[in-house]
Structure 1
């Protein structure tokens, strides 16, 4: 299984070895796009895709995602990054250039509910999530069989609030050893400490039901059923130290009615969670997300 998926990755790297993505955030002013285009042109780069957004035409913040192709990009990489500093300084940019041959390494955290994990692994297997899932960490054994069927390293690390520091020390070391770029909480039912979140700012994606801020805590579907809700949904967001209040990446809903039981609500909720999380993760690995204050710009 792993070799089959590695073939997807190898093919992607080979066909995209000369492609990069530039992400920019800066105060809006005339000349930004022109300066970037001129810079890329001077390095024989061809712009393949460009998306931009400005928060306010007068005194706004400018956001840009630009994908480009450049001959011998790997050899030019350091020179390109160094020389772009002059453009970035002129416009006070926050920026990054990502190179497509550097396929992002992803870690998945999961507890007992496996629907989101299964969705991510199937999307990954098909090549629709172009990332390298290099390990799965769980505080339960339920997912071991499915993870190991994909030949992905599985780490069972029991966790609770009394041993949280020791648990996170092990997890952080694993993330460092595997050089992780993205962490996906696929229904991982543990609260992360501020130290853990700080070590991976804007790198942790979580999924939860969209009843919040209503029906906080245990058994939200039961209490939603008793209240007679007509819509249920899911939210994928970046993790911050404000519980479930990080920048929202993606949301979706599905309609329900009085005929649906509590179990029906859970089943429909899991379906929405799977698709919302998969889309959010895909946008992250495609460098389509820029965090601004407590929101995301999706380009």
Structure 2
């Protein structure tokens, strides 16, 4: 009995030039692949090209007993055969099975709304992620996390113990084979060394609409300015505080009747939505880093 067709996502970027779409689509057509969805962007200002292709590939004719192994073989074969195309155009690229769940480590402090939202979305299958563990500098959310059957790691952090705490974090990243770390209102600043080591693999939610109102108590800063919207920004972490490439933003209308505490309450919804969008787009291969910016192909 022949194996079932399998779906993959190819993400790539390279210098802009003629023939890229033709080369990619021709490669897929020659192998009997069917394109399900394709998004592309040619950055004329920067001279760069970005593409995401979701396609269905015919599986090798094997029995069902070897389905998982055959899927790996098919993916490896496609990668090997696409490598010369990528080399010809100088592409940075990645090919992964569509729907493959990304191994995610969550980090949280005392505010649990983003944590709870991600736990729920992962549990009901709304996000293509496997939450392999939760790290916190407090014990507040142990019960919630363990109810979901997920390991909870309490790693206290002080100025003196920060290097030791980050070493423990990196040990967990290795032990769990973590692909993405999500700071779900983790109220500690990562060191420059850690941010650099994990570049492109750490997403943070900032409870404000960056680049405005950075740092502590952004909603109080916003209230002082009489804002008419509050927002939240999900971004990759880099060595500069709240300066990493932005992935997703969310805004909610407010008015002069909202006190600072009201803005904080309203902002929670924006934070949850912006962070879940960023995690989803990253794990679906829709986000490509481009210097200090991102291209989100959706």
Give the TM-score of the pair, scaled to structure 2: 0.90
Of 50, 53, 65, 1:66 maps to: 53
Partner of 1:50: 38
Moved >6 Å (runs of 4+):
none
Asked if residue 240 in structure 1 is aligned to residue 238 in structure 2, the reply is yes
CA-to-aligned-CA distance 1:125-178 (integer Å, 9 cap, x gap): 221112111100000011111101100110000012221110011110111110
| Contact 1:17–1:100 (Cα < 8 Å) also in 2 | no
Asked if residue 34 in structure 1 is aligned to residue 32 in structure 2, the reply is no
Q: CA deviation at 1:297?
A: 0.6
Q: CA deviation at 1:198?
A: 2.5
| Contact 1:160–1:190 (Cα < 8 Å) also in 2 | no
Alignment of 1:243-262 (within 5 A): 243-262=241-260
> Which structure 1 segments of 5+ residues have no match?
1-15
Q: Secondary structure at the match of 1:52?
A: strand
Alignment of 1:122-161 (within 5 A): 122-161=120-159
Partner of 2:222: 224
Partner of 1:186: 184
Per mean C-alpha deviation after superposition, the further-off stretch among 93-102 and 289-298 is 93-102
| Contact 2:105–2:131 (Cα < 8 Å) also in 1 | yes
Q: Secondary structure at the match of 1:145?
A: helix
> Which structure 2 segments of 5+ residues have no match?
60-70
Partner of 1:9: none
Q: For residues 219 and 175 of structure 2, what CA distance do their matches in structure 1 show?
A: 39
Q: CA deviation at 1:98?
A: 1.3
Q: For residues 214 and 87 of structure 1, what CA distance do their matches in structure 2 show?
A: 42
Structure 1 residues 90 and 173 mapped into 2: Cα distance closer, same or farther (>3 Å)? Answer: same
| Contact 1:107–1:182 (Cα < 8 Å) also in 2 | yes
**Aligned residue pair count:** 283
Structure 1 residues 31 and 101 mapped into 2: Cα distance closer, same or farther (>3 Å)? Answer: same
Q: CA deviation at 1:271?
A: 1.3
Partner of 2:7: 19
Partner of 1:173: 171
Partner of 1:8: none
Structure 1 residues 217 and 32 mapped into 2: Cα distance closer, same or farther (>3 Å)? Answer: closer
Asked if residue 105 in structure 1 is aligned to residue 93 in structure 2, the reply is no
Q: For residues 47 and 243 of structure 1, what CA distance do their matches in structure 2 show?
A: 40
Q: For residues 212 and 69 of structure 1, what CA distance do their matches in structure 2 show?
A: 38
Give the TM-score of the pair, scaled to structure 1: 0.90
| Contact 2:5–2:58 (Cα < 8 Å) also in 1 | no
Q: Secondary structure at the match of 1:162?
A: coil
Q: For residues 31 and 193 of structure 2, what CA distance do their matches in structure 1 show?
A: 41
Partner of 1:80: 78
Structure 1 residues 163 and 25 mapped into 2: Cα distance closer, same or farther (>3 Å)? Answer: same
Q: For residues 78 and 219 of structure 1, what CA distance do their matches in structure 2 show?
A: 48
